[in-house]
Amino acid sequence: MDLGLKGNRALITGGTKGIGLRCAEIFAQEGAAVSICARNADEVAATVEKLKAADIDAYGEAVDVSDKAALENWISNSAYALGGIDMVVGNVSALAVTDDEDAWKAGFDTDMMHSVRLVNAAMPWLEKSKAASITLISSVSGREIDFTGPAYGAFKAAIVHYAQGLAFKLADKNIRANTVSPGNTYFEGGIWASIETGNPELFAEALALNPTGRMATPEEIARGAVFLASPASSFTTGTNLVIDGALTRGVQF
């Protein structure tokens, strides 16, 4: 299927690893120009060079997305480098799963406010786009009470609510807004790879909850996210796409 991405410009936060990296790579393979950010400057530079191998324009900066000014500067610089913005994918999480006030602060600053600031700062360019979309990465932890901490689940649920509101508010501007809620996703350098060696009991508990007997790959989540962001999904807005291999049992109507 042609996703209609050729010539569009996509921004992805957390674009050097896991789901964010695969989103960036798929956008590039489909012919979109791409800008990424992440905290590690060397990883950003290496990823940008890799993206350019797809013969597209690529840009990146080292950014802590909880830093409002730094995030906004990257968005502005990206728009200048790529000639505009058509779609944004908010992918960064603090992964704050402890049950304390620090987790609430980290989740608010990184998960929630990074999403809000990403949208607000990109809005002047999205309003000029003919294929504007906002895609925010939530989590199945926002749908069900699980072994993660209360702050993590609460902010992931809030992101879904926020995107639903954007979808309604921005519909008359032809700007779409959706979320993706992944189940447990495994990749080298990711949280579950770390838990596998650092806390094998928790890893075994989490793996046992997956009816498929495995966790998702970044590819499986990114394909859904890029489709939602693309013009091929032009009448889909206000949707929360759960990609979890039947991990959760709540029925969506």
Catalytic residues: 138-139, 152, 156
- Residue keyed to tokens 């909850």: 209
Q: Are 78 and 51 in contact (CB under 8 A)?
A: no
Q: How many CB atoms lie within 10 A of CB 173?
A: 12
Packing angle of the helix pair 150-170, 113-126 (nearest 10 deg): 20
Burial class (CB in 10 A: 0-12, 13-18, 19+), 18: buried
Helix (H) or strand (E) holding 178: strand 176-182
How far is the CA of 14 from the CAs of 74, 111, 245, in angstroms? 12, 11, 23
**Order of all β-strands in the sheet with 9-13:** 58-62, 33-38, 9-13, 87-90, 133-137, 176-182, 240-243
Packing angle of the helix pair 41-52, 18-29 (nearest 10 deg): 20
